[in-house]
Amino acid sequence: MVIAAYNAEAYIAEAIESVLGQTVPPGEVIVIDDGSIDGTRGILDRFGDRIVALAQNNSGQAIAVNRALAMARGELIGFCDADDLWTPRKLELQSALLEHHSDVEAVFGKVQQFVSPDVPEDQRQRLMPALEIMPGELKQCMLIRRAALDRIDAFDETLPATFFIAWLGRAKQSGLKTAHVDDIVVRRRLQLGNGGRTNTEAQDLEH
């Protein structure tokens, strides 16, 4: 399982614990510190050998994720953003579906959005989502067979803000067979530093 982190000291420990605390534990957890200048690295060090933690110069999430994927050895690959949370049965539910449906290559699930408790009261209303719970075709909601990931190829590192959207479009064009579990698999944290709020110009250009 793969996490890319940049200046994530406020949330990274909770994100990692949500991955390690699965009812079906992951075989490996690889975290790439993408050149953080806060206390992220110190928090990663506290997990010891429970995770594989590496650092790189700040290069963007796509490069960090691709680096982690090059190291990953599992037959199933999952992703978690450094400020989001997996629900406890995510791996159990999604891996069971893949086990029983050999033709399915990737499984998604529902996402529940929540405003982070540390957001100041006067900022909370503007972060409130239009929909709290919805189907999530997001990177952090996906569990995918390694063979399918390799067939479709790596994330496009020239699109740092929209690399997963571009990858998913390419994957669907190539015939990726997907399914969804009817359960919340990720809790997506809405906070002032979300990439979608801080990288709007890059997203517009890449779209």
State residue 158's pLDDT score.
94
By the 8 A CB rule, do 20 and 35 touch?
Answer: no
Direct distance between the N- and C-terminal alpha carbons of the chain, in angstroms, rounded to an integer:
27
| CB atoms inside a 10 Å sphere around CB 125 | 9
Mind listing the domains of the chain with CATH numbers?
A: 2-206 (3.90.550.10)
The average pLDDT across 178-197 equals 90
**What is the rounded distance in angstroms from the CA atom of residue 28 to the CA atom of residue 141?**
17
**What is the rounded distance in angstroms from the CA atom of residue 171 to the CA atom of residue 176?**
5
pLDDT digit string, tens, across residues 64-93: 999 999 999 999 999 999 999 999 999 999
State residue 200's pLDDT score.
46
Report residue 27: phi and psi, to 5°: -70, -30
Residue 88 CA: distances (Å) to CA of 18, 114, 159, 169, 201? 7, 17, 31, 29, 35
pLDDT digit string, tens, across residues 16-55: 999 999 999 999 999 999 999 999 999 999 999 999 999 9
State residue 153's pLDDT score.
87
The sign of the dihedral angle between the CA atoms of 175, 139, 130, 169 is: negative
pTM score:
0.91
State residue 194's pLDDT score.
81
pLDDT digit string, tens, across residues 114-165: 999 999 999 999 999 999 999 999 999 999 999 999 999 899 999 989 999 9
